[in-house]
């Protein structure tokens, strides 16, 4: 296994990094042009959703993989981003009449209709703000308390949206969400250039390229951040908070940036997924989704950008194809619908990965060392001993 990896490492080292990026990008573009003809329409549709999930996983990777803050409520930012898309690109607030850079058809509709390419960045900005707000209370917490607080936020935020059918917390009487029905339809993206001026639901190719463009942006951000001063500070905080603070890392600032940027990417992707699915519905925002994204980065390898992308693609396609493919088999063998228990299977993946290979299939080297720390001298230390993440003040 390690021999293969070494050989692979040597071969991939022959060409510079940017060449690899270019190769992958060209492959993705080629898939965008001919994917729906060579493969099935369903795969093409799934690949667009997958690109959305890739962004989500990359965002969560900043919080969990880089900064080492286990965030179990990532779905909150998906919800906020998607609702930003829903509010600013639909007839939800039909008493308002705001239009900005939209197609002629949309121009005539009531409600708030802003341009998609503006809305995704607005959504990112707003979720970044909320990421910092929801992250702030967790600053004094560590380890599992932090995880539970984020989980609680992940449960609270979608509920607040769901129950804001007439007024928020009983204030006012605006209908923010249509309750469980959700906001639908949502406007299509629009730009006055060929290909993006008349998007229909029948030809989803433009969506693929929009998503790809967004993924490239997020990836660029990820790589630049990882190597930046802030990125190195994140890794320092992840490895040892006390030591990092002693070295002059401002813990509050560094952690809040991790939450804000992670959330911003979640909102960015959330707005896209809301628009692509043409509906913003509270049912999408369940705890299971947070765990789904978390499973992607754990299976791929926390902290490793390439691993996270691979994990996201694998798990997303697994959910969409592998399980339905397996279904006839299990149906005929034991008369049982395997797609019903997809989350149980992800749960099993999480369990098995954490026990057998906690660093993921494509690990980040530093992270791997951290995760295996204390294993050799297990007998000498013991269950209640200080571990890497449990440094207490």
Partner 1 sequence: MEAASIPQTPTPPQRKLGDVLRDNSLWLIFGLVLVLLAIIDLKEQDNILPLANNIKDGLSVGTIWALIALGYTLVYGIIELINFAHGEVFMIGSFITVSLFVTFGLTEDTALFGLIIGMFAALVIAMLGSGVLNVMIERVAYRPLRGAPKLASLITAIGMSFILQNVGLLWRPTPDSAPDLIKSQVELFTLFGVDVVRSDVFAVAVTIPLLFALLYFVGQTKYGKAMRATAQDPDAARLMGIDVNKTISLTFLLGGLMAGAAGLIYALYNLTIQFNQGFTAGLIAFTAAVMGGIGNLKGAVVGGLLIGFVQQTVESRVDNGSAWAPAVVFAILVLVMVFRPQGLFGEETREG
Which parts of this chain interact with partner 1 (CB under 8 A)?
A: 70, 72, 137-138, 140-145, 147-149, 151-153, 155-156, 159-160, 162-163, 170, 287-288, 291, 294, 298, 336, 340-341, 343-352, 354-355, 358, 370-371, 373-375, 378, 381-385, 387-390, 392
Closer residue to partner 1, CB minimum distance, 10 or 392: 392
List all residues 6 or more positions away from 284 whose beta carbon is below 8 Å from its beta carbon: 78, 79, 82, 277
Closer residue to partner 1, CB minimum distance, 120 or 244: 244
As measured in angstroms, the least distance from the Cβ of 182 to partner 1 is 16
> Quick one: tokens of 214?
């967004």
| Rounded Cα–Cα distance for residues 56 and 269 (Å) | 6
Nearest to 35 by CA among 216, 211, 265: 211
Do residues 263 and 69 lie in contact, with contact meaning Cβ atoms separated by under 8 Å?
no
As measured in angstroms, the least distance from the Cβ of 92 to partner 1 is 20
As measured in angstroms, the least distance from the Cβ of 356 to partner 1 is 9
Closer residue to partner 1, CB minimum distance, 194 or 393: 393
As measured in angstroms, the least distance from the Cβ of 296 to partner 1 is 13
Closer residue to partner 1, CB minimum distance, 247 or 390: 390
As measured in angstroms, the least distance from the Cβ of 221 to partner 1 is 25
- What are the two backbone dihedrals, phi and then psi, of residue 112, each rounded to the nearest 5 degrees? -95, 125
Closer residue to partner 1, CB minimum distance, 188 or 368: 368
| Rounded Cα–Cα distance for residues 298 and 311 (Å) | 8
What pairing do the DSSP bridges indicate for beta strands 111-114 and 97-100?
parallel
Closer residue to partner 1, CB minimum distance, 203 or 378: 378
Question: 142: exposed, middle or buried (C-beta count within 10 Å: 0-12, 13-18, 19+)?
Answer: middle
As measured in angstroms, the least distance from the Cβ of 175 to partner 1 is 14
Do residues 211 and 268 lie in contact, with contact meaning Cβ atoms separated by under 8 Å?
no
């Amino acid at each position: 296994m390690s021999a293969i990896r070494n050989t692979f490492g040597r071969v991939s080292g022959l060409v510079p990094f940017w060449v690899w990026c270019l190769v992958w990008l060209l492959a993705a573009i080629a898939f965008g042009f001919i994917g729906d003809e060579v493969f099935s329409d369903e795969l093409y549709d799934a690949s667009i959703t997958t690109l959305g999930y890739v962004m989500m996983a990359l965002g969560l990777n900043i919080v969990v993989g880089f900064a080492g803050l286990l965030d179990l409520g990532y779905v909150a930012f998906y919800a906020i981003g998607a609702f930003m898309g829903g509010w600013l690109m639909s007839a939800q607030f039909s008493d308002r009449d705001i239009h900005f850079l939209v197609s002629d058809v949309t121009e005539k509709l009531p409600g708030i209709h802003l341009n998609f390419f503006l809305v995704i960045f607005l959504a990112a900005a707003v979720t970044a703000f909320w990421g910092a707000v929801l992250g702030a209370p967790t600053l004094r917490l560590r380890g599992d308390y932090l995880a539970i607080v984020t989980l609680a936020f992940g449960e609270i935020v979608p509920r607040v949206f769901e129950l804001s059918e007439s007024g928020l917390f009983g204030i006012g009487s605006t209908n923010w969400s249509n309750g469980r029905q959700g906001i639908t339809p949502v406007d299509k993206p629009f730009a006055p250039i060929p290909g993006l001026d008349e998007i229909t639901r029948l030809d989803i190719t433009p969506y693929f390229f929009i998503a790809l463009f967004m993924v490239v942006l997020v990836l660029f951000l990820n790589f630049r951040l990882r190597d930046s001063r802030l990125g190195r500070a994140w890794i320092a905080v992840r490895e040892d908070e006390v030591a990092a603070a002693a070295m002059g890392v401002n813990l509050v600032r560094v952690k809040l940036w991790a939450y804000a940027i992670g959330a911003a990417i979640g909102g960015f992707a959330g707005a896209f997924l809301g628009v692509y699915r043409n509906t913003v519905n509270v049912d999408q925002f369940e705890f299971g989704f947070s765990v789904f994204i978390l499973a992607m980065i754990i299976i791929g390898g926390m902290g490793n950008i390439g691993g996270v992308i691979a994990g996201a693609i694998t798990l997303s396609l697994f959910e969409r194809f592998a399980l339905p493919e397996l279904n006839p088999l299990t149906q005929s063998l034991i008369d049982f619908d395997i797609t019903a228990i997809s989350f149980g299977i992800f749960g099993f993946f999480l369990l098995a990965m954490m026990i057998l290979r906690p660093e993921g299939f494509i690990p980040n080297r530093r992270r791997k060392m951290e995760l295996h720390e204390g294993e050799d001298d297990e007998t000498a230390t013991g269950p209640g001993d200080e571990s890497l993440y449990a440094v207490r003040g």
